[in-house]
């Protein structure tokens, strides 16, 4: 940092999630050494309330073709935990056992295989413990899949205000997951609609070109 300042270079801290989650603001005091500090979701402002900007993660949507919804008697639920304990996998398994669905838990497999299994999903369950969804949910929406995950209601409202559209994700907890999944299981039309809305949401909020424009705007603001 001293070298950058001596060279009159600007610097930006990009918080990613685990580096701030659950920490006190004074533990993140080092952020003030930077000219700007950003987070990837409004849920993250719980820990960094003075974030310079909220810039969600981006995807190159040329790599993600929306998959047509398929109507079947037993919908396929896909859950892909990076860490089964942290993502609430046990609760997903228990909930799906109470519904007429098939469940595919994708874990510890090569990325190419994981992607092919994502594409077959009728419903995606992301995680049940954190305040916001992860990249898996974004990728799933890009493929046109309806997503169920735990969401902070205040962050949902802030996101919808910032980007001018509804967050088309079914919010659930470990306690009400069965009730939140049931309408999706029973209605092909609901799955199809939420899948289409999810793709449109990703195109507006997470498209890589739009995300790049937000970064450029931030960089210009500190020059």
Residue 157's contacts (CB-CB under 8 Å, 6 or more residues apart) are none
Same domain, residue pair 34 and 140: no
Same domain, residue pair 29 and 75: no
List pLDDT tens digits, range 173-199: 999 999 999 999 999 999 999 999 999
| 195 Cα distance to chain centroid | 15
Q: What is the DSSP letter of 75?
A: P
Task: Show the beta-strand stretches assigned E in the chain.
Answer: 12-14, 36-39, 53-54, 76-79, 102-105, 123-125, 147-149, 170-171
pLDDT at position 17: 80
Same domain, residue pair 54 and 70: no
Same domain, residue pair 85 and 179: yes
Average pLDDT value for residue range 122-139: 95
pLDDT at 7 over 90: no
Across the strands, what pairs with 76? 102
Total of domains in the chain: 2
pLDDT at position 140: 97
Same domain, residue pair 12 and 71: no
List pLDDT tens digits, range 198-219: 999 999 999 999 999 999 999 9
Same domain, residue pair 76 and 130: yes
- The predicted model scores a pTM of 0.93
**Which residue segment(s) compose the domain that 14 sits in?**
2-58+208-222
Same domain, residue pair 47 and 76: no
Residue 173's CATH number: 3.40.50.2000
Same domain, residue pair 104 and 178: yes
Same domain, residue pair 71 and 96: yes
Same domain, residue pair 134 and 86: yes
pLDDT at 3 over 70: no
pLDDT at position 22: 84
Q: What's the mean pLDDT when you consider all of the chain?
A: 94
Cα–Cα dist 48/21, whole Å: 9
pLDDT at position 223: 85
Nearest Cα neighbor of 89 from 167, 4, 177, 24 is: 177
Same domain, residue pair 140 and 156: yes
pLDDT at position 163: 98
Same domain, residue pair 80 and 103: yes
């Amino acid at each position: 940092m001293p070298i950058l300042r001596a060279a009159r270079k600007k610097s930006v801290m990009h918080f990613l999630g685990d580096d701030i989650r659950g920490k006190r603001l004074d533990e993140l005091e080092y952020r003030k050494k930077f000219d700007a500090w950003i987070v990837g979701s409004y849920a993250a402002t719980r820990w960094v309330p003075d974030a310079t900007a909220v810039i969600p993660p981006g995807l190159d949507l040329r790599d993600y073709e929306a998959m047509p919804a398929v109507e079947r008697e037993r919908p396929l639920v896909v859950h892909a935990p990076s860490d089964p304990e942290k993502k609430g996998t046990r609760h997903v398994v228990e909930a799906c056992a109470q519904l007429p669905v098939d469940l595919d838990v994708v874990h510890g497999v090569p990325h190419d295989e994981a992607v092919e299994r994502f594409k077959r999903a009728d419903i995606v369950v992301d995680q049940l413990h954190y305040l916001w969804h992860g990249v898996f949910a974004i990728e799933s929406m890009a493929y046109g899949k309806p997503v169920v995950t735990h969401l902070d209601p205040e962050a949902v409202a802030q996101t919808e205000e910032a980007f001018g559209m509804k967050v088309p994700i079914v919010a659930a907890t470990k306690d009400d997951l069965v009730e939140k999944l049931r309408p999706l299981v029973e209605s092909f039309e609901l799955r199809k609609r939420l899948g289409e809305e999810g793709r449109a949401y990703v195109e507006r909020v997470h498209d890589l070109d739009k995300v790049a424009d937000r970064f450029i705007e931030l960089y210009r603001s500190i020059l």
